[in-house]
Amino acid sequence: MGKAKIKIDKELLARIKKYASLAGYSSPDEFITHCLEKEVAKLDEAESEEEIKKKLKGLGYIS
């Protein structure tokens, strides 16, 4: 798997390190990856929301 670096504010990184440990993640990297995956999944879902809207509109009652 390829790796990429991203920049994170120092203060935020400190908090991430703290909570990653508290939440039982093996590393801050794992915690960050998990958070990002969750957010991306939400955006994937948002695509479905548009589709749900379109399909509901076929009923005629909403626009």
- For residue 58, the minimal CB distance to another protein (Å) is 4
How many angstroms separate the CA atoms of 10 and 22, rounded? 19
The number of residues that bind another protein (CB under 8 A) is: 16
Question: What is the rounded (10 degree) CA torsion for 2, 6, 28, 20?
Answer: -130
**Residues 14-53: x where in contact with another protein by CB under 8 A, - otherwise, as a string:** -------------------------------x--xx-xxx
Given a contact cutoff of 8 angstroms between Cβ atoms, the answer to whether 21 and 30 are in contact is: no
Binding region for another protein (CB under 8 A): 45, 48-49, 51-63
